Amino acid sequence: MIFGRSERGKPPVEPVTLKILVAGGFGVGKTTLVGAVSEIRPLRTEELLTEAGRPVDDTSGVEGKHTTTVAMDFGRITLREDLVLYLFGTPGQERFWFMWDELSEGALGAVVLADTRRLEDSFAAVDYFERRSIPFLVGVNCFEGAPRYPVEDVRQALDLDDGVPLMMCDARDRESVKEALIGVVQHAMAYAADRRQTVTT
């Protein structure tokens, strides 16, 4: 079923598990990104936005989106029998932020997805990871019809530190998402190396 079945009598492999978070504003494509690389259909608890949710869930600019992730959303990538990577989409709405601390504990790093039509929606996530020193990368999700801006402009608009990688990506495209995830891990490695150096010197 999962993680490779044990053969007769052999104890099952107990994998090392890691997690990467996928954050960003409401409707920015977090669930899509997770679904693009996950080997399981992402577990999601989505509900149709009801009348009751309308004043809270601002969909201006993303009117095409009808559902939102209200709880948690995750996918799995088995890299090796003994090495499994989980992707967790963070709850998009601020009223579910209490889950962030729990999700970010022990996370390898994060992808903050941004939409150039609503960049300000990503500020909160950028801020969150900056303050907790969690290595992250910004992926600008290239929506059809959304204006394209030079990388430098987006970087400036988000007020990103020089060390934070920023890349254009397509949350629907597996290769593009793979690149973004590799970017996060590389950044996390560099970050860890930096930190080690600061400790030893």
Single residue of 52, 98, 147, 150 touching other proteins by CB under 8 A: 52
Nearer to other proteins among residue 57 and residue 123 (C-beta): 57
Residue 78, SS3 per DSSP: strand
Task: Please name the residue ranges forming H helices in the chain.
Answer: 30-37, 98-104, 123-131, 151-158, 174-200
Q: Are 47 and 114 in contact (CB under 8 A)?
A: no
DSSP 40: S
Single residue of 62, 108, 113, 169 touching other proteins by CB under 8 A: 108
Total residues in contact with other proteins, by rule CB under 8 A: 50
Asked whether position 18 contacts other proteins by CB under 8 A, the answer is: yes
Shortest gap between Cβ of 110 and other proteins (angstroms)?
14
String of contacts with other proteins for each residue 54-83, x by CB under 8 A: ----------------xxx-x-xx-xx--x
Residue 105, SS3 per DSSP: coil
Asked whether position 174 contacts other proteins by CB under 8 A, the answer is: yes
Residues in Cβ contact with 196 at an 8 Å cutoff, skipping those fewer than 6 apart = none
Q: In whole angstroms, how far apart are CA 176 and each of 35, 147, 159, 168?
A: 13, 19, 24, 9
Q: Which of 94, 112, 81, 116 is nearest to 2 (CA)?
A: 81
Asked whether position 199 contacts other proteins by CB under 8 A, the answer is: no
Nearer to other proteins among residue 53 and residue 61 (C-beta): 53
Shortest gap between Cβ of 130 and other proteins (angstroms)?
17
Binding site for other proteins (CB under 8 A): 1-6, 11-19, 37, 43, 45, 47, 50, 52-53, 70-72, 74, 76-77, 79-80, 83-86, 88, 102-103, 105-106, 108, 174, 178, 181-182, 185-186, 188-189, 192-193
